[in-house]
Structure 1
Amino acid sequence: MKGADYRKKLVWNPEEGIHVNPYYREEDLRNLEYLRQPGSLKKPGTAPNSWLICQDIELKNDAGESNRRIREALKDGAQTVRFLAGDSWKPDTEQLELLLDGISLGDTGVSFKGSMYADLLYENLVRLALQRGTDPSFLSGGLGADPIGTMALTGIPIASLENLGTLVKKVLRRSPSLRVIPVNGAMFQNAGATLTEELGFAMAMASDYMALLTSAGVDPAYAAAVMELELTTGTNYFMEIAKLRAARILWGRICEGYGIGAGQGRIHIHATSSTWNMTLYDPHVNILRGTTEAMAAIIGGADQISILPFELPSGKNSSFSDRIARNTQIILREEAYFDRVADPASGSYYLEHLTDAMAGKAWEIFLMAEAKGGFMKAFESGWVGEVVDASLQRKKEKAAQGRLRLLGTNAYPSFNEFVLANLGNTPVPEENISTGDSGHTRLKPIRPFRLSALFEKVRLETERSGKRPRVFLFRYGDPRWMSARAMFAGNFFACAGYEIVDQPVFRTIQAGIKAAGESGAEIVVLCSSDDAYAELAPKVHGALGKEALTVVAGYPDNSVEALRKAGITHFIHMKSNLLDALKEFNHLLLKP
């Protein structure tokens, strides 16, 4: 430590608003209240850590194609399916018959997300089940009735919630295994919120539903049973594990407030891999992200898990990416044996403390929402959107500066990758790069956001221009500095899709100038040590300045002013704002 402040040097202060020490010991767990209830985070049943492998399928106009994908998914390892319904999708009898053709409704859990017609959906599901000789009591899955979540995503105020209580009572009578309300906490992290904000807002939404249903005469235990909690898992591995464990602790507190005994109000958690960190370029990295996120979800104790196809940002739907998404979970179960240990995080000093810290901070956010009258009131006041947007802006700034890395996009990009010709219809990355305003809606919605879209817009601009600026890496001088800065500069400009021309070290400045001139490069990046730039940079700029931009890799404090006076104005270094710099170079080089 050499006299340095311990807290500044070794204590991590993530955006979640908690403090993480460099190590933990047994005595750090003595005051954790939830540990006094052994087994409270363990799953009931015979399988120690079982979960359902879910395949998400987007509902489009072709119900027959969706049915083919369902059959393929169930044949190849999926245990349940979830349909992602758009605003215009209406569950009429003919559509459902075609969609669920050949699917045993008594044996397969079928869930819907985003359905605007949950009442009609349930009526037609019951009708279809009876036609096939299946008792409606055997129906399982979910109806996707989430009016509060829909309000948050669309910004359209809720007209009435009376029908929800009626639907819940009807489902409880005829199909007690069917969940009605998915509490969509995942939207918050996918819009830029921190993990504790995601969890706190999800609890506030669930609390609003509990208040609504119990006031409609539904028994609190049954009200808890018809809900499921959807959370997303990102690549912050240990925190995601702790978040899911903390969710059960907080849900237990809410249930206690309604007189539900410990262990009786266990909520069903559906974990989905995140979309905010998925990338359009180098898409196979999304497979690695999905694997890490699946592992966190399993260890955290999720009951059902959806891993998204790695091609999702391009708008494609292929059987291959669906299969990889399924196989990720199958391998973790059948080959890595992740289902063999109940609550595998139990006993870890670090994870137990992290679980408690995450629960404490998320509970603070929950109480703040409750103080504003509950989630709906807090959202209508604009407070929820402000909190999410503030977190999003911090993520944007970190990504722009390269401090929040997205492999293959703003760090270690694939130098010769082109995606423009292979883009699907949706989503176009530029359309999702900000939370936007509410437009014709009265409330500001929570909009999904992919962080990599900030950089993808720049790189796609390069592709669309029909030009590909060439960058010449001028290696000269001290090999230690030269190699490190050449690697840095190559990755820097490759983030915008520029062509990188790398050369061996030049023994003389004149040899380098000659090679750079012959390369036809629009940018010449000087890669050397700080003390060499005072001589090197003016000579190169004097010889090539009219043909190419001279860029210095590094920021030589002692000679910066002299170099600027010599006409050299471009410096790239670890503290550069990567995004702003690439935008500036595109502006200079892609002019018509």
Structure 2
Amino acid sequence: MGARERWTCTETADAPTSKRDDTLSDDKPSAESNLSLAADFPAAGHDQWLRLVDKVLAGAPFEKKLLSRTYDGLGIQPLYTRADWNAAGDPSGLPGGVPFTRGGRVLGTSVDGWDIRQSHRHPDPTTVNTEILNDLERGVASIVLVVDPNGENGTAVRTAHDLDRALQGVQLDLAPVVLQATGASLAASVLLMNLLDQRRVKAFAGNFGLDVLGELAVSGKLAADVETELARMADAAAHVAAIFPKARAVNIRTVVFHSAGAADAQELGCAMASGVEYLRVMTAAGLDIDSACGQIAFTAAVDADFFMSIAKVRALRKLWSRVAEACGAGLENRTAPITACSAPRMMSKRDPWVNVLRTTVACFAAGVAGADAITVLPFDAAIGLPGDLGRRIARNTQIVLQEESSLARVVDPAGGAWMFERLTDELAEKAWAFFQEIEKQGGMAKALAVGFVAGEIAKVHAERAKNIGKRKDVITGVSEFPNIHEATFAAVRAAATRPARPSGAVPPLPVPGKGKFTAALAKAAAGGANIAALMKACSGTKPATLGNPLPNLRLAEGFEQLRDASDEFKATYGGWPAIFLANIGTVADFTGRAAFAKNFFEAGGIEAIPGAGGAEVAAIVQDFKGSAASFAVLCGTDALYAGPGAAIAKALKDAGAAVVYLAGRGGDQEAALRAAGVDEFIFIGCDAKAILTSAHQRLAAGR
């Protein structure tokens, strides 16, 4: 009996039943024999549902009201049926089978769970060691060590001794380490190789973190020209394959494209293009295709877009399987380990506690999608160095989902769901098309050099930024429901470090090939050469540079800059910039728009001072003067705007309001209201960021 028969229950009487049904007594009547609830209701079809929906929409277009679109142009339907995805022939296969959409292993994560992987970047090696051991003792299974020789954006690993201190007490054969060292990846790798050799660790199953094209994309430079750097990476892959058969040399971090604003299909397309480029150079250097595929892993971003994050991880497996198959790889080498990492771009500095919700959703999506490892960013990661609380919540988020909810014990819970299967297929098609566009440029390296990748990503980012500015894309706690009075979260800061200087001799290095270059670097490191000396030895006469490297963006940055300006205003003048809510009429008349206006302006750091209400112009003006606010906004009904609204606007302007806003659209009264003194109308869909930026500019000009 096959796996499919053992675990699939069917409605036919003679079909094999699930093994889990053995607990049911044979003499108990089945629910189906006693209950026929469906028969009591008339049959309903999709067309009938559409007619009912049209009736509710009352003429409004279905596509506008109920159909949403991703930044890749994929339509998200409100309802999916079997007509949306043809399951005939099992197009997604089974877990552990081609095309690996449903997972790279037959049992998925159901046996041991996914790998709980924590990222560490404290500049001090001793401090980071304490943090690493604390995590490993409390449920973390592997770590990402972010290395920066200067200690600015990672652990200051300058020498072999520094790396030994950072990993002191870590059982490297049991707790895999993934290196991330932009600008020093090869040098950091050979230091780790030496450490593994000194500790006589052969069963190392980590990743040395080489990603030449990702490094070029985000930093805009390489130590040497692209061809040389790729050849060195291929050399390192050959060395790793020979010395550390359980490890991988390459980690394609699609996070760098996601952080630049890429849509999901663009992120996946870049992953495929990078992977193909790496396979080409590795096979050209002498590795067979199976060994080359065995040197590649992926780290993809998952965010609070639950549905698309699930589809992305599943599509990544499907796409890489297709690439590996086309390149001639054997069945066992058509999958690559996938680490799903909380997307840095979704993290906010303001109201950082909301990040706990964002990362939980992302982690749940990654677990449902069958990621091999998951990294949850601490909620305070965008503010500074993560603190103990941030790391603990990040760690325990995974433990709760894995152990208490038993999420890891279900093999591909998204499998067969019409929505996820269709989204996976559509996303894979879009990603493949973008991959082909990159190939038309001559491959990933050339596409980066001519600015094609950066240009295409910038288009999507511009569209997204526009939607964020209009609050169509909501950032909870920042652009919507801000708490202007929130306590400042104390960021963990590290002491300044000095730049790394070369120390130790590095003899002339051989031409890359069959691991000789990497072995020579490792020998120099063993002889005392520090990371700066190794990096200097790798420097070429014509280092690669990009005129337009990818930016590192966060979605909340625009509104947070306004909040920062507000804090500076408060530090200078003793209070936040303020706007007076000129409430008109009764509580029932103004509450809705007053709440909207408060939310609107406090998203930009402008404190809302509520008025008492009423329709007496003099009383409202008196309240405004008592508020000491620079601005005023009328809040009431359209009928009240048509009545005393114009008089109130004029009186507020005469009383010194630098700008008078009105909550709502002017409608037929817009011209009269503007003539009376209303400067701006705020409403759902207006460009909130532009209006708030203008308000801050007026504040700066008026002081």
Tell me if TM exceeds 0.5: yes
What is the Cα deviation at residue 371 of structure 1?
1.6
Structure 1 distance, partners of 2:349, 2:90, is: 41
Corresponding residue of 1:341 = 410
Q: Which of 562, 572, 578 is the matching residue for 2:688?
A: 578
AA matched with 2:180: K
Deviation of 1:108 after TM superposition, in Å, equals 1.1
Cα separation, 1, equivalents of 2:669 and 2:628:
28
- SS in structure 2 opposite 1:585? helix
What CA distance in whole angstroms lies between the structure 2 residues aligned with 1:344 and 1:185?
Answer: 24
Change (3 A) 1:564 1:144: same
TM-score, L = length of structure 1: 0.92
**1:63 alignment partner in structure 2:** 125
Check conservation: 1:115, 1:144, Cα contact below 8 A.
no
Query: How far is the alpha carbon of 1:303 from its aligned partner?
Result: 0.7
Partner residue of 2:220? 155
Q: CA 1:130–1:493 in 2, change beyond 3 Å: closer, same or farther?
A: same
Stretch of structure 1 that moved more, 526-535 or 249-258: 526-535
Partner secondary structure for residue 161 of structure 2? helix
Q: Aligned in 2, Cα 1:163/1:470: closer, same or farther, shift over 3 Å?
A: closer
Does residue 392 of structure 1 match 2:496?
no
Of 81, 84, 100, the match for 1:25: 81
Query: How far apart, CA to CA, are the structure 2 residues paired with 1:481 and 1:445?
Result: 52
- Pick the aligned partner of 2:117 from 34, 54, 75: 54
Mapped pair 1:108 → 2:175: yes
C-alpha contact 1:55 1:326 (8 A) present in aligned 2: yes
1:38, distance to aligned residue in structure 2 (A): 2.6
Say whether the 8 Å CA contact 1:555–1:572 is kept in structure 2: yes
Per-residue deviation, residues 426-461 of structure 1 (Å, max 9, x unmatched):
9xxxxxxxxxxxxx9443111110121111111111
**Sequence identity percentage:** 29
In structure 1, the residue matched to 2:606 is: 498
Q: Could you say what the CA RMSD is over the residues aligned between the two structures, in angstroms? A: 2.3
- Alignment of 1:139 with 2:208, yes or no, is no
User: Quick one: structure 1 residues 119 and 236, their matched pair in 2 at CA, closer, same or farther if it must change by over 3 Å?
Assistant: closer
CA distance, structure 1, for counterparts of residue 186 and residue 161 of structure 2: 16
Specify the alignment match of 1:249 in structure 2: 318
Query: Which shows bigger deviation, 386-395 or 569-578?
Result: 569-578
- Counterpart of 2:380 (choices 291, 307, 311) is 311
Closer/same/farther in 2, CA of residues 121 and 155 from structure 1, 3 Å limit = closer
Is residue 2:529 matched to residue 1:464?
A: no
> Could you say what secondary structure the match of 1:537 adopts?
helix
Among candidates 656, 661, 672, match of residue 547 of structure 1: 656
Matches within 5 A, 1:27-426: 27-30=83-86, 35=91, 37-39=93-95, 40=97, 41-44=102-105, 47-48=109-110, 50-60=113-123, 62-86=124-148, 88=150, 89-90=156-157, 92-132=159-199, 134-136=200-202, 138-156=203-221, 159=225, 160=228, 161-417=230-486, 419=488, 422=490
Find the residue that maps to 2:346 and give its secondary structure. coil
Aligned pair in 2 of structure 1 residues 118, 413: CA closer, same or farther (>3 Å)?
A: closer
Letter in 2 for 1:149: G
Report the Cα distance in structure 2 between the residues aligned to 1:550 and 1:443, rounded to whole angstroms. 44
Looking at structure 2, the residues matched to 118 and 509 of structure 1 have their Cα atoms a distance apart, in angstroms, of: 68
Does the aligned pair in 2 maintain the 1:43–1:342 contact within 8 Å? no
CA distance in 2, matches of 1:364, 1:33: 25
Aligned length: 575
Q: Which amino acid aligns with 1:141?
A: G
Can you list the C-alpha shifts for 1:467-519, whole angstroms capped at 9, x where unaligned? 42222222223655511100100011111222222245436444333333322
The offset of 1:524, in angstroms, is 2.4
Higher mean C-alpha deviation, range 504-513 or range 158-167: 504-513
Q: Partners of 1:527 and 1:122 in 2: how far apart?
A: 62
Q: Which moved more, 1:195-204 or 1:496-505?
A: 496-505
The structural deviation recorded for 1:572 is 1.5
- Secondary structure at 2:668's aligned position in 1? coil
The one-letter code of the counterpart of 2:167 is L
* Counterpart contact for 2:299–2:338, Cα < 8 Å: yes
Q: Counterparts of 2:89 and 2:459 in 1: how far apart (Å)? A: 32
Distance 1:116 1:533, change over 3 A: closer
Q: Which runs of 5+ in 1 are unaligned?
A: 427-439
Look up the SS of the partner of 2:297 in the other structure. Answer: strand
- TM-score normalized with structure 2 length: 0.78
Structure 2 match to 1:435: none
Change (3 A) 1:503 1:566: closer
Query: Which of the two has higher C-alpha Rg?
Result: 2
Q: 1:195 to 1:123 in 2, by over 3 A?
A: closer
Whole-angstrom CA distance in 2 between matches of 1:332 and 1:571: 45
- Indicate conservation of the 8 Å contact 1:114/1:146, yes or no: no
Aligned to 2:333, the other structure's residue is in SS state coil
Instruction: Show the counterpart of 1:433.
Output: none
> Contact between 1:32 and 1:356, CA under 8 Å: does it hold in 2?
no
Mapped partners of 2:197, 2:276: distance in 1: 34
Amino acid at match of 2:678: I
- Indicate how the Cα distance of structure 1 residues 125 and 415 shifts in structure 2: closer, same or farther if over 3 A, else same: closer
Structure-2 change in CA distance of 1:34 and 1:579 (3 Å)? farther
Higher mean alpha-carbon deviation, 48-57 vs 277-286, is at 48-57
Kindly report which structure 2 residues correspond to 1:481-496, keeping only aligned pairs within 5 A, or say none. 481-496=589-604
Give the aligned partner of residue 14 of structure 1: 70
- 1:524 counterpart SS class: strand
User: Structure 2: which 5+ runs fail to align?
Assistant: 1-53, 151-155, 495-543
The answer as to whether partners of 2:311 and 2:369 remain within 8 angstroms in 1 is yes
Residue type of the alignment partner of 2:129: N
Question: Aligned AA for 2:421?
Answer: E
CA deviations on 1:264-309 (whole Å, 9 max, x unpaired) are 3211001110111211110000110000010111111111111111
Q: Which moved more, 1:519-528 or 1:478-487?
A: 478-487
1:190–1:274: 8 Å Cα contact kept in structure 2? yes
Q: 2:670 aligns with which of 537, 560, 565?
A: 560
| Amino acid in structure 1 at the alignment position of 2:121 | E
Q: Does 1:518 align with 2:626?
A: yes
